[in-house]
Amino acid sequence: MVVLRGLRRRWDAYKYRFVPWLAFNVRRQRRTLRYVPESSQDKIISDEDVFETLLKVFTALLVNDFSRQVPALALLPGVQRRYARLRAAGLEPAGSPRGRQSQREPLSPEDVLFRTLGFSLARERSSLLSAGTGVFVSQGSAPQGAVVAMYPGTVYRKHEPIFFQSLGNPFIFRCIDGILIDGNDKGLSRSVYRSCSWRDQLGPFQMSDVSWLTAAPQNPLAVGQYVNNCSYEKAANVCYQEFDVPRHFPVELKQYLPNIVYSHEIERLAVCQRAHRFV
């Protein structure tokens, strides 16, 4: 009996991220899941707002880490000068000596997020029974309509191999069009993501972020895979929205994108990001 209860608890914690179960429950339990009849209607906030938020956060992260970015940015002199001006404008209060400011230690990614959007996030153990790790606002507050997280991981099209990665994996997310995102930061999933990331690196420029696989992600928004589902007792306070990163996304900021496509033959550079917001 104890074993059965243990298995039931594990299933209750797992079933909401199991793809067939999730698809089945979209039909049976629309009151607990956001029902989207077709992808064209999957827009709670505009793509322009999502794009501007990502640019704002990623730019702040790069400016905060400017000294480490200099070698790569030297290949793009115009871009380097622009970020240098942003750094000077943001880090040097009126009347302060330049030398003193240049010695200032960079902020943590969480503090950068707080200064940029007015809130920061933390991955912590949930107080809900069998909920596991969750995502919490640790500083400030997230206003309605704000992008609060991104779902990281390897992006797979329908015909691409994901069977072995999916075994015992509660972090596979199914997009509206059937594309899957493997947000597991351990085991085979971790190895596949890192391999694809190294494959796509362009000189000194990284095309994706691998730090979300660690306990200290450089993109503080890359925690969406740990956002817990709503329960019967409490309604969801976030929901997901799909966003394709456009081709013209700045190359120097792609190092903060926590997604990589499994197949290098995909022509579009867009990846299926998950943008969550408070409702």
Do residues 135 and 110 touch, judged by C-beta distance below 8 A?
A: no
- Tens digit of each residue's pLDDT (9 = 90 or more) over 133-154: 889 999 999 998 899 999 999 9
Confidence of residue 174 (pLDDT cuts 50, 70, 90): confident
CA–CA gap between residue 170 and residue 183 (Å, rounded): 9
CA–CA gap between residue 133 and residue 228 (Å, rounded): 8
Q: Phi/psi at 90 (nearest 5 deg)?
A: -90, -25
Q: What is the pLDDT of residue 35?
A: 54
- Tens digit of each residue's pLDDT (9 = 90 or more) over 64-91: 999 999 999 999 999 999 999 999 987 5
Angle (CA) 226 229 230, round 5°? 145
Residue carrying structure tokens 């996304």: 249
Please tell me the total number of residues recorded for the chain in this structure: 279
CA–CA gap between residue 85 and residue 63 (Å, rounded): 9
Rounded CA Rg of the chain: 20
CA distances in angstroms from 117 to 19, 113, 114, listed in the order given? 32, 6, 6
Per DSSP (E only), the strands in 112-252 are: 119-125, 133-140, 147-149, 153-156, 172-174, 180-182, 238-244
First-to-final CA distance of the chain: 40
Do residues 234 and 164 touch, judged by C-beta distance below 8 A?
A: no
Residue carrying structure tokens 């015992």: 168
CA–CA gap between residue 236 and residue 3 (Å, rounded): 30
Q: In the chain, which ranges are continuous DSSP H helix?
A: 2-14, 19-28, 47-64, 66-73, 77-91, 98-102, 109-117, 163-166, 187-199
Q: Which residues pair with 278 in a beta bridge?
A: 144, 238
- Tens digit of each residue's pLDDT (9 = 90 or more) over 222-275: 999 998 766 667 777 888 888 999 989 999 999 999 999 998 765 443 333 444
pTM (2 d.p.): 0.78
25 vs 60, higher pLDDT? 60
Q: Looking at beta carbons, which pairs linking 211-218 to residues 24 or more positions away fall under 8 Å? A: 212/152, 212/185, 212/258, 213/185, 214/185, 216/109, 217/109, 217/258, 218/61, 218/65, 218/109, 218/255, 218/256
Which three-class secondary structure state does DSSP give residue 145? coil
Domain ranges of the chain: 51-82+107-278
Edge to edge, the sheet with strand 238-244 lists 147-149, 272-278, 238-244
